Amino acid sequence: MHHCRVLVPLLLSVAVLPFDTHAAASLLVDDASITDAGQCQLESWVRHTRDGQEWTAVPACTVADTEWSLGLTRLPGQSAAQWAVGAKRVLVAPVQRRWGLAASASLGGTAHRPRSDDWNLTVPLTVALDAQDRVQLHLNLGWAHHAHVQGRTSGVGIDVALHRDWSLLAESARDADRQRSSQLGLRRVLWPGASVDLLAGQVHHQRTTRWLTLGFNLAAPP
């Protein structure tokens, strides 16, 4: 029952905010980890583009060895919020290994269309490149279906611990429409369970499609 007492306030807290969902985080590439059993987290971010600000919040809790998430996003110039529900499960935990493997799935749509038009499946692989886990490589391979396009998705990202509280983030991903996007930024740990991301990104070959993202990640105590 403890996880329910944590989950309900998180869901209510984002339900009253104006939000949109590209993915389950401010990052383009997912890793192969989930929150601890019975714990919750809230990932939220604002992305500034030439069209305005996109606001997103994604609360998630792990129940029955599966991380369940609900994402809500508000795009500039659109009255209907976008939503996405997701589930993620670790297939291979990095116990006595230098790598981990997970599988995730999500369904999405808008508040004006109760029926889900979008879905995707992704397999994230995370590999530690050094013995201290200071450098981690994340690889994604998946399939996405949208209203007018479907196809393979992929991504590669790297997380480098520069200092006790600072990390370098770099990644590049291809969507179902064969468009590739990349972003680069920093993560600052504020206190255990809380961090801030600052990322700059762009869709390749589209100089007008650039963004600056400020994200806040908060893990609820057990």
Structural domains counted in the chain:
1
Predicted pLDDT of residue 80? 83
Predicted pLDDT of residue 159? 97
pLDDT at 194 over 60: yes
pLDDT per residue as tens digits for the range 159-171:
999 989 999 999 9
pLDDT at 4 over 80: no
| Sign for the pseudo-dihedral over CA of 174, 175, 181, 187 | negative
pLDDT at 147 over 90: no
Q: Which two tokens stand for residue 47?
A: 């992305």
Beta-bridge partners for 215: 45, 197
| Sign for the pseudo-dihedral over CA of 153, 103, 164, 42 | positive
**Which CATH number fits the domain that encloses residue 149?**
2.40.160.40
Predicted pLDDT of residue 221? 62
pLDDT at 105 over 80: yes
Contact between 215 and 44 under an 8 Å Cβ cutoff? The reply is: yes
pTM of the model: 0.86
pLDDT at 32 over 80: yes
Domain, as residue range, for 172: 2-219
Contact between 179 and 203 under an 8 Å Cβ cutoff? The reply is: yes
pLDDT at 183 over 70: yes
Average pLDDT, the chain: 87
pLDDT band at 14 (very low <50, low <70, confident <90, very high): very low
